């Protein structure tokens, strides 16, 4: 494979080379890449803004993460934050810190991942920056979206007796990470060893190529349901519930037997002698939606595919509790991902 040094293009030439195949898709994007600043028009909606910083060696490991998958995931996890506000992602900027070990071809792969994410979710790439780095690869993405007046959902709107709902299943991304880390250890001790991924495609996909739940936001709108509180599950169900309860001044009761878990995640946990419920509560990176709805919406929500009711909100003085299969109550603790530890 050919290798083109980044220095061949220079900063502005590199940006032009990497972004010239990103057509504008949204009316709110008046000017994208190519000027001193992008120009947006959100006259009919509220603008939602989120940003994410990803550092090599902290947030991702290029030993087992394909660089195109990294681009896709880096974009999608930002889109997920906008959907978690009951909004729609529309634009994003990408800034990179790149060391000399990366070539133009590497960055083309990264941007191919960005482009696939933008195409799949209807988002415009409108700018960013690129700089030399002494510490590997750094990715900073800002995503801008739009939210309809009166329908933007915050974390602080939950009330006692509201139903706690989650989309999809939990713990699969974390088990995919454990599988990758296990095979990395095997590879570092024997470079001739082939990774054993048979029958584990689902949990690998959940870790390497997650999807934002655009479909769930659309389905809720179709049913006329506006959640009372919502966020995406990036750091683990326990941690996210704590955020909602803290900001809404409520407690919660979550039922262990209601937590949705995939078969592959269960099998992987058994292989590694791990407790799958603990992994589902604290693993993170699922990017599913956690939200609360009024009891009045029970008849609507219970019929919706891909959504599970896992508990209900309570008064704050009752605390945050997991109800076990035998009816025992365990206080929830946030043990999810914390990059500062």
The total number of structural domains in the chain stands at 2
Is the domain of 168 the same as that of 286? yes
Alpha-carbon distance of 239 to 281, in angstroms, equals: 8
Alpha-carbon distance of 239 to 328, in angstroms, equals: 21
Give the residue from 58, 54, 162, 158 showing the smallest Cα distance to 114: 54
CATH code assigned at 231 = 3.90.650.10
Q: Decide which of 147, 182, 209 is a domain's last residue.
A: 147
The DSSP-derived string for 296-314 is GGHHHHTT-TTEEEEEEEE
Is the domain of 51 the same as that of 170? no
Q: What is the pLDDT of residue 336?
A: 55
Q: Mean pLDDT in each 10-residue stretch from start to end of the chain (341 residues)? A: 81 84 92 86 92 94 96 98 97 96 95 98 95 92 96 97 98 97 88 84 97 98 97 96 97 98 97 96 96 97 97 97 93 66 56
Is the domain of 98 the same as that of 176? no
Is the domain of 71 the same as that of 176? no
Is the domain of 141 the same as that of 180? no
Q: What is the pLDDT of residue 340?
A: 46
The answer to the question of residue 83 being in a domain is yes
Alpha-carbon distance of 196 to 310, in angstroms, equals: 34
Is the domain of 228 the same as that of 320? yes
The answer to the question of residue 43 being in a domain is yes
Q: What is the pLDDT of residue 287?
A: 98
Instruction: State the DSSP code for 34.
Output: T
**Segments forming the whole domain that contains residue 305:** 163-331
pTM of this prediction exceeds 0.75: yes
The answer to the question of residue 32 being in a domain is yes
> What region does 22 belong to: left with phi over 0, alpha with psi -120 to 50, or beta?
beta
Alpha-carbon distance of 341 to 252, in angstroms, equals: 27
Is the domain of 62 the same as that of 29? yes
CATH code assigned at 54 = 3.30.1330.10
Instruction: State the DSSP code for 228.
Output: S
Is the domain of 172 the same as that of 142? no
Q: What is the pLDDT of residue 317?
A: 96
Q: What is the pLDDT of residue 16?
A: 86
Count the neighbouring beta carbons within 10 Å of the beta carbon of residue 199. Answer: 11
Alpha-carbon distance of 180 to 117, in angstroms, equals: 23
Is the domain of 32 the same as that of 109? yes
Is the domain of 313 the same as that of 175? yes
Is the domain of 18 the same as that of 135? yes
Q: What is the pLDDT of residue 341?
A: 56
The answer to the question of residue 202 being in a domain is yes
């Amino acid at each position: 494979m050919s290798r083109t040094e980044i220095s061949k293009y220079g900063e502005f030439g590199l940006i032009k080379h990497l972004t010239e195949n990103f057509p504008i898709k949204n009316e709110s994007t008046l000017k994208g890449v190519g000027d001193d600043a992008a120009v947006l028009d959100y006259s009919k909606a509220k603008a939602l803004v989120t940003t994410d910083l990803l550092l090599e060696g902290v947030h991702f490991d290029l030993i087992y993460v394909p660089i195109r998958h990294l681009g896709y995931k880096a974009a999608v996890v930002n889109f997920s934050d906008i959907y978690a506000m009951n909004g729609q992602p529309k634009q994003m900027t990408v800034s990179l810190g790149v060391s000399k070990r990366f070539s133009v071809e590497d960055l083309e792969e990264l941007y191919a991942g960005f482009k696939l994410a933008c195409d799949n979710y209807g988002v415009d790439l409108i700018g960013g920056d690129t700089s030399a780095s002494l510490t590997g690869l750094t990715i900073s993405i800002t995503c801008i979206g739009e939210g309809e007046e009166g329908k933007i959902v915050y974390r602080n709107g939950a009330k006692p007796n509201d139903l706690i709902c989650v989309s999809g299943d939990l713990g699969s991304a974390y088990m995919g990470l454990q599988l990758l880390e296990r095979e990395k250890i095997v590879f570092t001790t024997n470079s001739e060893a082939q990774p054993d991924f048979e029958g584990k495609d689902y949990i690998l996909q959940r870790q390497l190529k997650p999807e934002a739940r655009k479909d769930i936001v659309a389905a809720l709108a179709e049913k006329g349901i506006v959640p009372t509180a919502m966020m995406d599950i990036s750091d683990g169900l326990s941690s996210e519930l704590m955020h909602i309860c803290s900001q809404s001044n409520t407690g919660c009761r979550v039922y262990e037997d209601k937590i949705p878990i995939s078969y592959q995640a269960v099998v992987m946990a058994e292989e590694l002698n791990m407790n799958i419920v603990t992994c589902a509560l604290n693993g993170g990176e699922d990017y599913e939606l956690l939200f609360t709805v009024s009891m009045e919406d029970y008849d609507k929500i219970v019929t919706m595919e891909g959504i599970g009711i896992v508990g209900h909100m309570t008064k704050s003085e009752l605390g945050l509790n997991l109800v076990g299969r035998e009816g025992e109550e365990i206080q929830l603790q946030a043990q999810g991902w914390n990059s500062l530890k």
